[in-house]
Structure 1
């Protein structure tokens, strides 16, 4: 195996450290974060259990005008269709008002699902390790600490085979323009890079959210596919509207990665919505 990046993201006991903090939010993004926080309180009031930031903004790596604002909201009960509509409206309003963010995405769940046994090593891990508390009582206090093991790999990204048909449908339904394809390339690139990384994460024994680092770690274990994942990492940051890129993802890299993932870690436990 070629020399790889030294493992990071773990504490002295080998547990994954939580990434991000409100202190790392750049001044340019603070007004958008404050607006989102206040409007979540206005919309949900006492039904809101907690809210979190995740992604590049709380990690301090966001680019003005290029990075999106990512939120996770936990309600005290399961969200309704009206709740999801309200979150979509809130996200669109904040996105339209603050040009320093390029899109606002909000995940919405009930507290009990986030704390459930089924989600312990997926959404639970996500809250405990990748989310920065913004409002309310931090659910991480009710969740375990995590190691970068095969169970975590399986339950976070072991469902790629189920996603591939949906991706093909989305690509077929999209307009035949570079502008329409560019967001798809960005989304699929990031998903594939993260899946490639978690495939080798238990062997590497570390964590990173940097796409380029993820690709380099993967390439050290799968050099024959390394160039593909490196390109995908670049497209995750600077997407192109190229139909050939999408075709490669759904017909070559994606199927290979899904098969290898199932061989190494198994398949993610089905969720009710599956």
Structure 2
């Protein structure tokens, strides 16, 4: 893998691996594997994956969260979601080195569909690290940092902004505000990076590097994007910061993204 996150053939390299998990997080990953295997049998579960800073080897104890993707044979049901919530709670309670657990549930039909080829499919093939079961990446193509990939990964920010505004207005606790500010900030930084990704010609999921690269192309918004990267790592309780991310930087970014890459294809 070169300095732009690409393999020798110019395609985006898979960014995580189990042997990159920092030692302090190994017990967390082992416990996650055990909980998933004991809770979801082979009738329901096709495969499980890690993603985020832990498999990338950049996680910070007490700050980073544990991110998991479960690929199910069928569409997720209420029982699946309840079981995932129970695993999240158990892991978060047992390990102080993580600050929260998130489990995504998606069917293999969706992950391998033509509609999701350059979004959820890319996510599995390049951003997820196999934890349990057969690897769906073997059924997916290799990906390049193209405008098509940019459009299909983050070309729907304009649709997300109204939901964020509603959640911001409804946030009543510090926990709500921390969760929302981190979610918003991370999405803003990822969208800012994929906006310039085809011009830069590579891939990174690192928030700080993403903001720095974005600033090379949009200097007038560089300071705001650096703030977003900081909030993505250490969430803020300041309503003014969240308003800046959603109503100023986010609104501008959505319009610029549509102008440069177009809108993401509609989803059902």
TM-score by length of 2: 0.96
Residue 32 of structure 2 corresponds to 36
Identify which range, 155-164 or 226-235, moves more after superposition.
226-235
Look up the match of 2:178: 182
CA–CA distance in 2 between the matches of 1:210 and 1:257? 19
Kindly state the Cα deviation for residue 101 of structure 1 after the two structures are TM-superposed: 1.0
Unaligned segments of structure 2, at least 5 residues: none
**What runs of 5+ residues in structure 1 fail to find an aligned partner?**
1-5
| Structure 1 position 260, deviation (Å) | 0.6
Kept after mapping to 2: 8 A contact 1:10/1:206: yes
Farther off after superposition, 30-39 or 213-222: 30-39
Match of 1:152 among 149, 152, 161: 149
Q: 1:19 aligns with which of 15, 26, 32?
A: 15
Structure 1 residue 56 and structure 2 residue 53: aligned?
yes
Runs of 4+ in 1 over 3 A off after TM superposition: 177-180
Task: Write the distance in 1 (CA, Å) between the matches of 2:106 and 2:177.
Answer: 29
Residue of structure 1 in register with 2:165 after alignment: 168
Residue 86 of structure 1, CA deviation: 1.1
Residue by residue, what CA displacement relative to the aligned partner does 1:11-65 show, whole Å, maximum 9, x if unpaired?
2221000011000112211111111111111111112111000001101111111
| Matching residue within 242, 245, 249 for 1:253 | 249
Mapped contact 1:178–1:240 kept (Cα < 8 A): no
> The residue matched to 2:178 in structure 1 has which SS?
helix
C-alpha distance in 2 between matches for 1:152 and 1:225: 23
Residue correspondences, number: 266
Matches of 1:116 and 1:237 in 2, distance apart? Answer: 32
Provide the C-alpha distance between the structure 2 equivalents of 1:95 and 1:216, rounded to a whole number of angstroms: 32
2:264 to 222, 245, 268: 268
Is the aligned partner of 1:142 residue 2:132?
no
Which secondary structure state, in structure 2, belongs to the residue aligned with residue 45 of structure 1?
A: coil
> 1:51 and 1:183 mapped to 2: Cα distance?
24
CA shift for structure 1 position 193: 0.6
Other structure's SS at 1:72 match: strand
Deviation at 1:178, TM superposition (A): 4.8
Question: Using the alignment, how far apart are the partners of 1:55 and 1:247 within structure 2?
Answer: 26
Of 124, 129, 133, the match for 2:126 = 129
For the pair 1:93 / 2:54, whether they are aligned, the reply is no
Q: Which residue of structure 2 lines up, in the alignment, with residue 3 of structure 1?
A: none
Aligned-pair CA distance for 1:179: 5.0
Contact residue 63 and residue 234 of structure 2 kept, 8 A: no
User: In structure 1, what is the equivalent of residue 62 of structure 2?
Assistant: 65
* Equivalent position of 1:82 in the other structure: 79
Q: Greater shift after overlay, 239-248 or 113-122?
A: 239-248
Q: Distance in 1 between matches of 2:149 and 2:202?
A: 12
Contact 1:182 1:242 in 2 (8 A): no
SS of the equivalent of 2:41 reads helix
